[in-house]
Structure 1
Amino acid sequence: MHDKPGGSSLSTEVTTAAAPVERRAELSLRGHLGRALSVVVPVLIWFAPLDIEATTKHGLAITSFMILAWITEALDHSVAGLIGCYLYWALKVVPFDIAFTGFANDTAWFLFGAALFGAMATKSGLARRMAFAVIERVGNTYSRVLLGLIITDFLLTFLIPSGIARVVIMAAIALGLMDAFGAGPGSNIGRGMFLIITYAAGIFDKMIIAGAASITARGGIEKFGGVEVLWSRWFFAYLPCDVITILIAWWLTLWLYPPEQSGLSREAGYIGAELRKMGSWTFMEKRTALLMSGAVLLWLTDFVHHVSPSVIGLGVGLLAVVPGIGVLNVEDLKRVNYLPVFFVGSAISMGEVLVRTKGLDVLTKVMFAWMEPLLTNIWSSTFVLYWTGFIYHLFLASEISMLGTSIPLLMNFAKARGLDPLALGMVWTFASAGKIFAYQSSVLLVGYSYGYFQGKDLFRLGLWLTAVESLLLLLLVPLYWPLLGI
C-alpha cells in the first residue's frame, strides 16, 4: 500500500506556513517583554510579604511564570509548562507525583489519541477524499463552494481533531479552488475562503469534544467540577449551534467579501478531476473509515455504556498502529507532534498544584468576586460568562492555556455558590472560540500565514461571529439545554 499524496506533506506545510509568523513573533517587543515579565513577576511574588502561607505564595509565583510565558509566548507552551512542573517539584512546593499529575490524567492521552486520528486520516487520504466529495455535491459556484468548505471543515472535526491539521488540509483544497477561479491573494474570493476555513477550524472543535481546547476543558470540568462530561451530551447541546453557525458564517463571508465572479472561470471539472485521480477507495481508506466510524459510534452512544471518551479515542488510536489492523507504523508515530500532550499535561498539573497549595482559593476570590452580583439568572449568567471568557482570552495567546488556567477556578467558583459546573464549564469553553486577533490561536496563525487575509479581515469576521455566537447561547442555554439535563 502506498501513502496518498499530501499525507506526508502535512508537517512540512505547517512548518513552512507558520515559520514567518514564528520568526516575527520571536523578534517582537511582546516576546522580549514576556521573557522579562516571566522572570521578574514570579520573583516578586515569591518574596512578597503577602498574608498567605509560604507554600501558597510559592505555588502562585511559579504559576505566574507559566501563565505569563503562555500569554506572551516567551517560550514554547510545552517547554514553559514542563519548566513550571519541574520548578514545583525541585523547589519543594509539592511532591513529584503532584507536580506532574497531569501526565497521569486521561486528558493528555486523549489528545495523543486525537493526534493518531489525524495521522490516520491524512496518511490514508480519507480526509482529502471526503473534502472533495462534499464540495462536488454542493456545486461549483463560489457561494456553494464556500458552503462546501464550511461543511467539510465541520465534518473533518470528527476525523481530525487538530485545528491546524484541518486548516492545512483545507488550505490545500482552497489553493486548488483559487486556481480554478483564477483568483489570487488580495481578492475577495481568496480572503473569504481562507478566512472561513481558518476561523471555522477554531469554532467547531469547541462544539464537539475533539480538539485540544475542548479536551482540556472536559478534563478540567470532570476533575475540578466533579461532574461527568458525556461526549454525546456535549455534541447534542451544541448541535443546533453547529447548524446555525454554518449558515451564518457562510452568509457573513459572502456579505463581507462578495466574490469578483460567481462561478469557476476555468477548469469547471476541477473537483471531479481530482476525485477521478484518486480512483476507487483504497484498502487503507476503508480501514481508516471503519476505525473512525467505530470511534464516533462509541462516542455518540456513551450515554449507554459510559466508557470514557479518552479510553475510546486512545484505544482506537493505538489500534491504528497494530500491524494487520491499523494503518500507521512506527515511522508515523515518530512524526507525531507530542509537544501538545506535554502542554496539556502541564496545564492540568498546574491546576492540581493550585488546589493542593490553596492558591486556587486566593485566585478565585480575586478573579470572580466582581462576577457574582451579575450572575442573577440564567440569562445574565450566560451573557456575563461568555463575554468575560472572551475578554479573558484577549490576554492569553492560547485557548488551551486560557482553559487550563481558568477552568479550575471556574469550577471552584461554581461549587462554592451552588451553580451547575457543567453548564458554566461548557459556556466558558465555548467563549474561547471567540477570537479577533491571530495571536490568540495557533490555528489562526497558520491560516493567517498563507497571506490571503489581513488582521483587519480577521477582526471584522471574528467580531461578527463572536456576537452571533453570544446570541445563540442566550437562546440555547435557558431554553434548549434543560431538555438535555444541563
Structure 2
Amino acid sequence: MKAAEQSELLAPKTGFSALSKGDLIKWIVTFLVPLIIWLIPMPFDDNIKMFIVITAWGVTSWIVTVIPVAVTGALLPSMYLFFGVTGAEVAYGAWTNTVIWLTVAVILIGLAADKSKVSLRLAYKILLKLDCSLRGLIWSFSIAGIFLAFIITDNMARCIVFLTIAIGVCQALGIKAKSKEATALCLAGFFAMSGPSIGTLTAGNGLYFNSVFREVAGYDITYFQWMLHNFIPALAWTFFGVISIIKVLKIGKEKTYDAKSELQRCYNELGPVKRREVFVFVYLLMVVVTVILSGTYGFDPMLVVAMFLFLMFLPGIDILSVDDFDKADFKILFVMTGAISIGNVAGSVGLIDVLVEYVTPLLTGSPVRMVFGSYIFSTLANFILTPLAIVFTFTELFTEMAIAAGVNPLPVIYALNLGSDVYVFPYEYAILLIAYSFGYMNYTDTVKVLLARTILSVLVMAVFMIPLWFLMGLL
C-alpha cells in the first residue's frame, strides 16, 4: 500500500463519516420530522403551519440533543423572525420578560448556596437526625427535600446536593454503580428535589406559571395561596416517589448499609459554620420573604428578587465575587427564551385561539373533567416538550379555556404543574438527565421506577388534589 493511501486511512475522520450510527440517525430525525410535518395537509394558514414546523424542529432538537439545547433555544426566535412567522418584538420578546431576570437570580443563588456549602450543611444536619440505612436514606432524602424546598429556590442546587451525598455514600460503602442500591439512592436524591417542588411557589416552576397566569387572569397567585392549595398534594407526590423506589427495586428493611458514620465524617469536614454561610442563609430567607411580601405590595416577585442581586457582591458580605459571576452557567437562559418564544409566537399567530376552539369541547362539561384533562395533557406533552416549554406554551391556553368555561383556573393550572413533573424517560427533564448522566443509575430500573411513579400520579390527582380543592371551594 502506498504511503499516501496509508496516511489517508490513518487520518482522523471528519464530517458525517466521523458520526456514529446513532448520531447520524439523530441528525436525520432532527430534519426529517419537520419536513414530514410540512408535507402533511393542515387546516391552518401558512403562518401557523410554518410556526408548527419550526417548533417541531426545535422540540426534536431538544429531544435528540445533537445540537446543544442552548443553541436550539437561541435559534428558535431567530427562525420565527427569518421565516416571517412574526415580528422581532414578539420573537425576541422573551428577553423583556421578568422571568429571565429571575432565572439569573436563581442561578446565582444556587451558585452561592453551593459555594458556601450551606445547602450541604443543612442536608447533612437533617439526614443525621434520621435513619441512615439504605431504606432510611431513601425516606430521609425526601424529608430533607421538603425542608430545603422552603429555603433553596434553585431546583438544580437542591438536586445536586442530594446527588452529591448519594454518590458519596455509594463510594464510601462500596455500593456498585448501576446496582439497584445506587439507582435507588440517586433516584431518591432526584425525587427529594422533584416531589416537594410542586408544594411552594418558589420551589419549582410556580413563579413561571404565575408569570403567564397573571397576564391572562389579571391577578397573582400568592405564596400562601399556592402552598395552601398544593402543599398536601406535594407531600403525597413525594411519598409516592419513595414508594415507587422501594417497591419496584425491592429495597428491604435490612440494615446491610449504614451511612451515618460517613455522613457524620462529611459533616465534620465542613468545619464550624462560616460567616459566608450565615450571610447566604439570611439571603435565602430574605428571597422567600420578598416573594411572600411582593404580592401584598403589588410588586412583581421575579423582578424584586432580581433587584436584590447586588447584595451578593457587597464588600464585607462577599457572598459571591466577580470571578464567581464569570463562572456561572447562564446557558439555560437561551433554553428559557426559546421556550417562552414558542408560547409568545403561538399566541401572536392565533394558534392559541385555534387550540382553545378545538380542545375546549373535549375538556368542558365539568370542572373535574377540565382539571383531569389539564393534568393528562401536560403529562403527555412532557414526552415531546420540556417542562418550561409546557409552562410558557400551555398556561395561557388552559387559563383562557377555564375562564371561558366559567371554571376557576387555579386548579387547572395546578394540575398542569403536576403533569409537567411526571416523567417516564430521563430525556424529558434536563435535571433528571444530569442525574442519570453521573453513571450511577441503571437505565432499565430507572424507567421502571419512573413509570410506577407516573401511574401513582393519577392517585395524587384523584385522591388528594381534587378532593382537597373541592373542600376548599376551588371546584
TM-score (norm 2): 0.85
Query: How many angstroms does 1:139 deviate by?
Result: 3.1
Q: Distance in 1 between matches of 2:172 and 2:274?
A: 27
Contact 2:150-2:203 at 8 Å conserved across structures: no
- Taking CA–CA contacts closer than 8 Å with sequence separation of 6 or more, which of the two structures ends up with the larger relative contact order? 1
Contact 1:138-1:144 at 8 Å conserved across structures: yes
The residue type equivalent to 2:182 in the other structure is G
Q: Distance in 1 between matches of 2:181 and 2:155?
A: 22
- Structure index of larger Rg: 2
Matched with 1:376 is: 365
Contact 2:276-2:317 at 8 Å conserved across structures: no
Matched with 2:374 is: 385
2:440 alignment partner, SS class = coil
Q: Distance in 1 between matches of 2:238 and 2:43?
A: 51
1:259–1:55 distance in 2 versus 1, CA, 3 Å? closer
Q: Distance in 2 between matches of 1:26 and 1:326?
A: 47
Query: How many angstroms does 1:238 deviate by?
Result: 1.5
Query: How many angstroms does 1:29 deviate by?
Result: 2.8
Query: How many angstroms does 1:476 deviate by?
Result: 4.0
Q: Distance in 1 between matches of 2:53 and 2:354?
A: 13
Q: Distance in 2 between matches of 1:426 and 1:266?
A: 38
Query: How many angstroms does 1:63 deviate by?
Result: 3.7
- List alignment gaps of at least 5 residues for structure 2: 1-18
Deviations 1:228-277 (A, max 9, x none): 22233222322112323333333442333344783365775222222222
Query: How many angstroms does 1:159 deviate by?
Result: 4.3
After the TM superposition, which residues 312-327 of structure 1 pair with which residues of structure 2 at under 5 Å, given as runs? 312-327=304-319
Asked if residue 35 in structure 1 is aligned to residue 23 in structure 2, the reply is no
Asked if residue 292 in structure 1 is aligned to residue 288 in structure 2, the reply is no
Q: Distance in 1 between matches of 2:217 and 2:342?
A: 16
Asked if residue 117 in structure 1 is aligned to residue 117 in structure 2, the reply is no
TM-score (norm 1): 0.83
1:173–1:25 distance in 2 versus 1, CA, 3 Å? farther
Q: Distance in 1 between matches of 2:401 and 2:324?
A: 43
Asked if residue 126 in structure 1 is aligned to residue 115 in structure 2, the reply is no
Q: Which moved more, 1:318-327 or 1:170-179?
A: 318-327
2:70 alignment partner, SS class = helix
Aligned-pair Cα RMSD in Å = 3.0
Contact 1:181-1:264 at 8 Å conserved across structures: no
Asked if residue 262 in structure 1 is aligned to residue 239 in structure 2, the reply is no
2:384 to 377, 387, 395: 395
The residue type equivalent to 1:359 in the other structure is L
Contact 1:204-1:242 at 8 Å conserved across structures: yes
After the TM superposition, which residues 328-347 of structure 1 pair with which residues of structure 2 at under 5 Å, given as runs? 328-347=320-339
Asked if residue 427 in structure 1 is aligned to residue 427 in structure 2, the reply is no
1:449 to 429, 433, 437: 437
1:340–1:281 distance in 2 versus 1, CA, 3 Å? same
Q: Distance in 2 between matches of 1:25 and 1:286?
A: 52
Deviations 1:120-173 (A, max 9, x none): 100111011111111111133333222221222333334444434333322221
Matched with 1:196 is: 188
Aligned residues: 456
Matched with 2:91 is: 99
Among all aligned residue pairs of Structure 1 and Structure 2, give the percentage whose two residues are the same amino acid: 18
Contact 2:138-2:185 at 8 Å conserved across structures: yes
1:417 to 389, 402, 405: 405
Contact 1:162-1:211 at 8 Å conserved across structures: yes
Query: How many angstroms does 1:58 deviate by?
Result: 4.3
Contact 2:33-2:56 at 8 Å conserved across structures: no
Contact 2:133-2:257 at 8 Å conserved across structures: no
Contact 1:216-1:344 at 8 Å conserved across structures: no
Contact 1:34-1:68 at 8 Å conserved across structures: yes
Matched with 1:407 is: 395
The residue type equivalent to 2:376 in the other structure is W
Matched with 1:458 is: 446
1:415 alignment partner, SS class = helix
Query: How many angstroms does 1:107 deviate by?
Result: 1.3
Query: How many angstroms does 1:212 deviate by?
Result: 6.8
Contact 1:320-1:327 at 8 Å conserved across structures: yes
